[in-house]
Amino acid sequence: MANSYDLIIIGGGPGGLSAAIYGGRAKLKTLVINKGAIGGLVNTTREIVNYPGYRQISGPDLMKDFKKHAETFGVEFLKGEVTQTDFSQAEKKVVTKKGQEFLAKAVIVACGSEPRLLNIPGEKRLRGMGVAYCATCDAEFFEGEDVVVVGSGDQAIEEGMFITKFARKVTVIVLHDEGILDCNKVSAERALNHEKIDFIWNSTLEEVLGKENVEAVKIKNLKTGSTSELSCQGVFFFVGMVPSTGYLKDSGIEMDKRGYIPVNELMETNLEGVYAVGDNRVKYLRQVVSAAGDGATAAVAAERYIEEVNDFNNNVLQSDKKIMLLFFNAQDNESLKFRTALEELNEESGTDCKILCVDMATKKKLAEKYAIKTIPSVVVLDKGTEINRIEGLEESLEGLT
């Protein structure tokens, strides 16, 4: 028997935890499923100094505060990996690797993304101890130090130039021959002429060295095969990010070619009742504060969606009376006249129909469900089954009831 919730959040990073706080506060029965440590990528950040209200705090400590906040509103947490989903029904199903099944009226996807790893020795071990993947997050912690950047695309070169604001020197390791970069021409020219940036050409990074913190890197020349060591205190890898959305491949959620999920301003995906927040969605800025904002927006949108679903179930699907759904525009005079005429007709006919007005400005999903193309339109339901409809002002109301 699957466990039922109002809201299930897949992922326990800042986006998911923010959504959990809002969901719990709205008295939604909320479950967060997270496969790793709470906090996601934020746990790899030694210090955060740009989150409002915290002058300086570690990533793990900030995420602990987020979790405690959610728990005060009764949010439940489960450590597990979601491997299957079924979003085709009104109640969405989520299945974990251990075979646990959960149902929810709404789901928020907050599984984040991961840096593309080179998987060289020392990279994982020293992550957060000099190995970094985000200049905006961590560059300032290398004030006056020597930093190595791996990569030559737009992100690597532009982030490398940002790091020069803090570091004493930035050395970029490039696979290609001298002068060849994979970034745009303007950034390439600026970087090649930057007094604080050096390049090591035709080379790859073989190993990150250090006991407790980064102390040096081992570099291999691809043409000669020789290796050398370069002293440094930080290594930034910019070889791409990978959204953690592989398990959603057959879910019906639209994704771009990289696996990121496009959403609208309400964080809605193409599937009704399914939202995406944080680093797994298409977005401009991937930071704790922006992920938290995503989570808040999605949770409020989910709350209103659930209210609509509950209201529809109680007042339409479970109604003993026939229901006339009037789809109209509350700001349009013709629509308002039509509404008055419909109410008068219903009263004169003596039928036992109940009229429910649906403002198209606020109930777009319901309009899509009934394929409403013109307004005003009326759909007559009997225990949830459509038995009649008229569309537009041209059609007569006679015979509708």
DSSP states of 186-205 as a string? HHHHHHHT-TTEEEE-SEEE
Give the span between the Cα atoms of 53 and 38, in whole angstroms.
20
Give the pLDDT of the chain (401 residues) as one tens digit per residue: 569 999 999 999 999 999 999 999 999 999 999 998 899 888 877 678 889 999 889 888 999 999 999 999 999 999 999 999 999 998 999 999 999 999 999 999 999 998 888 999 999 999 989 999 888 778 999 999 999 999 998 889 988 999 999 999 999 999 999 999 998 899 999 999 999 999 999 999 999 999 999 999 999 999 999 999 999 999 999 988 899 999 999 999 999 999 999 999 999 999 999 999 999 999 988 889 999 999 999 999 999 999 988 888 887 888 888 888 899 888 888 888 888 888 888 888 777 788 888 888 777 778 888 888 888 889 988 888 888 888 876 666 665 65
Token representation of residue 353: 């129909």
DSSP state of 60: H
Least Cα distance to 274 among 307, 258, 250, 251 occurs for 251
Could you give the dihedral angle defined by the CA atoms of residues 247, 252, 254 and 257, in that order, rounded to the nearest 10 degrees? 50
Helix 154-163 with 185-192: angle, nearest 10 deg: 40
Residue 129's pLDDT is 94
Least Cα distance to 260 among 134, 109, 118 occurs for 109
CA angle 274, 277, 280 (to 5 degrees): 100
Residues 77 and 32 sit within 8 Å (Cβ to Cβ):
yes
Least Cα distance to 259 among 109, 379, 143 occurs for 109
Which runs of consecutive H residues, i.e. helices, occur in 120-178? 135-138, 154-163
Residue 134's pLDDT is 85
Residue 210's pLDDT is 97
| Consecutive H or E run containing 32 | strand 30-34
Burial class (CB in 10 A: 0-12, 13-18, 19+), 250: exposed
Residues 366 and 273 sit within 8 Å (Cβ to Cβ):
no
Residues 45 and 138 sit within 8 Å (Cβ to Cβ):
yes
Residue 360's pLDDT is 80
Residues 307 and 274 sit within 8 Å (Cβ to Cβ):
no
Q: How many CB atoms lie within 10 A of CB 37?
A: 12
Residue 266's pLDDT is 96
Q: What is the pTM of this model?
A: 0.74
Residues 87 and 271 sit within 8 Å (Cβ to Cβ):
yes
Q: How far apart are the first and last CA of the chain?
A: 42
